[in-house]
Amino acid sequence: MKPSTADGASGTASAGITVAIDGPAGVGKSTLAQALAAELNIPYINTGLMYRGLAARALQRGIDLDDTPALAREAAGFRFAVGGQPPGELLIDGRPPGPELTTAEVEEIVSRVSRHAAVREVLRRAQRDLRGRGCVMEGRDIGTEVLADADVKIFLMAPPAVRARRRARQRATGDPAGEPPISEALTLRDAQDAATNPLVPSKDAYTLETAGLSPQAVLRAALSLVRRRVGQTGRNGAT
């Protein structure tokens, strides 16, 4: 997508700007983050895929999910980078993340992998290294831990039922009968994540309730926030 100039937040004006997007699973983080990064012409980084990559590797290699040192060593062995078509996105060991990271098996254990403080510290360091000269980064703790100095922090919210329907569409089931187990999985995932990595917005984050809003409306709201920030600072690619 060619960077938009209509909102005054693209091109060189957005070079160097960092945007943190946080929220629970199924709230629309990836949809917004990808679109916003394309509009601003800066890299898009999905930190959840880094944890999913580790979860998939643990399944593949039979690593005990309670073995903190082994999981931390495995996390440290990944090569994370920003690459692909400009403006770039996350690469794991030189490749774009594949569909194997979004399987139900990975979904089931990713919270067990991320609950280890040592694992989170390893991946947080890698995430900070990826910020480069600007990015849109999404996750659960970007605004509070990873990029606490981000220029714009956005916290997305939506009711559990809305999140379940969105996740069902992402999986292309199109079957309302599939919603209850997805809803239960999201509830379990929320509880597991909250036990070790509480989901709270940064004090200076903008909270957006996405229920009832189209992806385009959420994007327009986010672009407005970025435009306001760029205008306030008078930035032109400077950090």
Convert the pLDDT of each residue in 31-79 to its tens digit: 999 999 999 999 999 999 999 999 999 999 999 999 999 999 999 999 9
Residue 23 — very low, low, confident or very high, per pLDDT cuts 50/70/90? very high
Which DSSP helix (H) or strand (E) runs through 18? strand 18-22
Q: Is the pLDDT of residue 145 over 90?
A: yes
Structural domain boundaries in the chain: 11-226
Give the percent of the chain with pLDDT over 70.
77
Residue 232, pLDDT > 80, answer no
Residue-wise pLDDT for 169-198, tens only, equals: 766 544 444 444 666 666 666 666 666 767
pLDDT tens digits for range 205-225: 999 999 989 999 999 999 999
Q: Which of 32, 217, 234 is nearest to 142 (CA)?
A: 32
**Cβ proximity of 208 and 155 under 8 Å:** yes
Burial of 70 (0-12, 13-18, 19+ CB in 10 A): middle
Fold of 11-226: Rossmann fold (3.40.50)
Question: What is the crossing angle of helices 160-170 and 179-196, to 10°?
Answer: 110
Give me the residues paired with residue 208 across strands. Answer: 156
Higher pLDDT: 125 or 162? It is: 125
122, with CB counted inside 10 A (0-12, 13-18, 19+), is buried
pTM confidence score: 0.83
pLDDT for the residue numbered 235: 53
According to the model, what pLDDT value does residue 183 have?
62
Q: What's the CA gap between 106 and 54, in Å, rounded?
A: 9
For residue 166, name the pLDDT band (cuts at 50, 70, 90): confident
The confidence score (pLDDT) of residue 8 equals 40
How confident is residue 165, by pLDDT bands cut at 50, 70 and 90?
confident
Let me know: does 134 contact 15? Beta carbons within 8 Å. yes
